Structure 1
């Protein structure tokens, strides 16, 4: 591959050590890797190959890339990152631990040296890195309604900004799973006049909430949802426990979102409940810096509602911050080495 006038070797090999290991090869991870590689840092992106938006036909809300298939966007991103010398490999990270060799302080604060890390993969490989950027995303946990998972990202949806335009003017249902259901009903009502709110196992809206839905012409259906009706690989209706079928062409569901962060337990970093009640995330500063020195996060693993553009921007920010952190560490080491030599 050619970058400018320079020919850069493209490789899938995994070296033993890097400046930064990026766990997760989606928009956030690749954007962070791009920033770092362009700063001449050695970078490994380790991607398990299970992107959250894989079922979607296209990426939306991303300027100049509207409607691009998710796989194509990632393929272009990998090629760009590799073009600057970074390694992008397929692998599942199972653990991350702090190195004890070298005697560096593992409990360092901001502006101090945090020490390095070892990242272990499921296939037995491992790499060492001075810093970690975790962009491993999240898992959508869906209600136990038969058929939801199979149609997730197609005509079972969650985000009006990701999928709303595609179901405009259609018969849309909103499956209530918690407090976000009313919010979803109001947003999808902007896109179609035919919205039905399925209370399912929750209490039917009351008071001001019920008045708003009624004023907007949103029908409320009580009773538990038992399954979906599908014909010719298209959603045609929502079936209730009493076998009543309400015709619908799309169903909106708020999933419980849980960060993919179990492999960070060895560093004392685990997902915690998000203040919104929507699931679990790994908290961090606005720059992506976590409470564990040397570890940054970006994308849905920390910001559960971030779309592709926001995730990419967060990854780029974190990459720049990591580069600055390493540069400051290198300067401190250079001063220390010179003082020893004086």
Structure 2
């Protein structure tokens, strides 16, 4: 890395690489620092992304890194441990002892999926345990689908997956069974509700075979939908005085529509601020934030040039 850049991007997923690409193409010096822990790593492919549907996540990121480098941007492997200072002179420290300065920061660290404590669930995550009907629904279409209730959106999730299969069961697990209008909606769509705590997953031939309940009953299922709690990776921003906020789905870092945060000189994009963003949405947000950052730097550069001219 160089000693300083116009922009340091923390996080090398779709949002970060897209933002870096835009900045590099406008001839801003930019470095992406990536810890190498993408949220979608367990998935077989990225879906719903025009012209790239089904591409492996690692291949998509590899292409993105190559594109950033093609225009002079740098992509660096490393974990950021501290961010200090203020615009136009932030200092970013890495775990290996390296430091770099930046006039502006674009934080695209994403989020962490907190899953229910059900034995076997984490191991099947991204395979036949899924969360998003738009990201993974086609791949489990017409299968026997279970929906593990984790919060107030579970009935909504069951109704969405009903679009993909006529065999959907909602497992309230540790939550009360749906009542009133919610129960009527499920009944109207032919979604069964099976009570009892889910004690674990039954696996056969490296595939989900069913859900084991507390009474020993095993309910056959081919796929399981689980709404994880989405927790923004915002610890670094807390060092700058920017705290995460609560959301019905988890936590996020607040920003305006362009990704600008309350801390001058700091932008966010992707899942760290938009919990529901898919890959395409995150990439678009990164590009939008990059445009905003460049515009602000342009005004700053022009102001400095004017001051020098008027001396």
Is contact 1:145–1:225 with CA below 8 Å preserved after alignment? Answer: yes
Task: Find the aligned partners of 1:167 and 1:32 in 2 and give their Cα distance.
Answer: 33
Task: Find the aligned partners of 1:115 and 1:37 in 2 and give their Cα distance.
Answer: 19
Is contact 1:95–1:264 with CA below 8 Å preserved after alignment? Answer: no
- 3-state SS in 1 of match to 2:112: strand
Unpaired segments of 5 or more residues in structure 1? 1-13, 99-105, 107-113
Aligned to 1:89: 76
Measured after TM superposition, the shift of residue 79 of structure 1 is 0.2
- 3-state SS in 2 of match to 1:318: helix
Aligned to 2:31: 44
Measured after TM superposition, the shift of residue 307 of structure 1 is 0.3
Over the aligned positions, Cα root-mean-square deviation in angstroms equals: 0.8
Q: Which runs of 4+ in 1 moved over 2 A?
A: none
The equivalent position to 2:265 in structure 1, one of 294, 308, 316, is 294
Measured after TM superposition, the shift of residue 263 of structure 1 is 1.4
Deviations for 1:272-295, whole angstroms, at most 9, x for unmatched residues?
212xx1100001000000000000
Aligned to 2:54: 67
Aligned to 1:218: 191
Aligned to 1:323: 294
Q: How many residues align?
A: 311
When the two structures are superposed, what TM-score results if normalisation uses the length of structure 1? Answer: 0.90
Measured after TM superposition, the shift of residue 270 of structure 1 is 2.1
Matching of residues 1-342 of structure 1 within 5 Å? 14-98=1-85, 106=86, 114-274=87-247, 277-339=248-310, 341=311
Unpaired segments of 5 or more residues in structure 2? none
Measured after TM superposition, the shift of residue 269 of structure 1 is 1.1
Measured after TM superposition, the shift of residue 215 of structure 1 is 1.3
Aligned to 1:7: none
- 3-state SS in 2 of match to 1:310: helix
